């Protein structure tokens, strides 16, 4: 009788252990939804993030690998830590830190509305990327895959650098073969952006020099 009791108790404990083990693994993958897209993205584990993003590990940052979402969120974190209402000391504003001239160029005149409208900011970022991709279309074709001054040149890296200092500055950097150091008002170089944000998938952005933000 005692042997039977021990036998059934052992079976019950083993079953419970297996059940709990399966439940524990179902919560490893999380989902994030972005303000501009009603789509869910499955996030990779931290082990899948490459070494270039290691500096972000101490922050509450939504890892999305090398997708376009990963690109824009990584850039936003660098620019403003993802804060839509931030205005820096030089007057650049929003999640992606737009200047007044850039906002006017893409059709936004009401800066107050821009600051409180996350959806508009996400649209503005894509529109500016489309314009910069058009401006740099020849450079992307000519330099993509090459190494300049120790930096592997990629489309996403060039677009990130253009966001920092303008497409014209990126062209000057490339023409000088990396010898011309170009930095923003805080001393951040175009080269550092090319390296930090290289290798992301920005193929979904269609080059368009006439792109505007439409409310």
Q: What is the mean pLDDT of each run of 10 residues along the chain (215 residues)?
A: 50 49 34 33 37 42 78 96 95 95 94 96 97 97 95 97 95 91 86 96 96 86
pLDDT at 69: 94
Q: Output the CA–CA distances (angstroms, integers) from residue 89 to 92, 99, 185, in the order listed.
A: 8, 12, 10
Note the pLDDT tens digit of each residue in 83-113: 999 999 999 999 999 999 999 999 999 999 9
**Distance of alpha carbon 48 from its chain centroid, rounded?**
16
Extract the runs of DSSP E, i.e. beta strands, from 51-163. Answer: 147-148, 151-152
What are the φ/ψ torsions at residue 143 (nearest 5 degrees)? -110, -15
Q: Is the pTM of this model over 0.75?
A: no
Q: Report how far Cα 189 is from the mean position of its chain's Cα atoms.
A: 18
Residue with the two structure tokens 């252990």 = 17
Question: What are the Cα distances from residue 35, in Å, to 73, 86, 112?
Answer: 11, 17, 19
Domains of the chain: 65-196 (1.10.530.10)
Residues whose CB is less than 8 angstroms from the CB of residue 188 and which lie 6 or more positions away in sequence, other chains included: 164
User: CA torsion sign, 61 to 63 to 66 to 67?
Assistant: negative
């Amino acid at each position: 009788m005692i042997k039977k009791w021990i036998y059934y108790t052992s079976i019950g404990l083993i079953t419970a252990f297996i059940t709990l083990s399966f439940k524990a693994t179902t919560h490893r993958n999380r989902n994030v939804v972005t303000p501009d897209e009603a789509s869910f993205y499955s996030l990779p584990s931290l082990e899948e993030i490459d070494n270039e993003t290691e500096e972000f590990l101490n922050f509450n940052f939504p890892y999305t690998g090398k997708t376009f979402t990963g690109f824009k969120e990584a850039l936003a974190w660098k620019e403003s830590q993802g804060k839509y209402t931030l205005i820096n000391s030089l007057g650049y504003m929003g999640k992606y830190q737009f200047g007044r001239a850039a906002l006017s160029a893409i059709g936004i005149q009401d800066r107050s509305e821009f600051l409180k409208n996350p959806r508009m900011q996400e649209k503005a970022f894509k529109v500016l990327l489309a314009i910069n991709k058009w401006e740099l279309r020849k450079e992307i074709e000519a330099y993509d895959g090459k190494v300049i001054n120790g930096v592997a040149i990629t489309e996403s890296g060039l677009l990130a650098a253009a966001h920092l200092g303008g497409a014209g500055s990126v062209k000057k950097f490339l023409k000088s073969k990396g010898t011309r150091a170009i930095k923003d008002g805080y001393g951040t170089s175009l080269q550092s952006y090319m390296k930090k944000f290289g290798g992301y998938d920005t193929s979904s952005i269609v080059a368009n020099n006439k792109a505007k933000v439409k409310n």
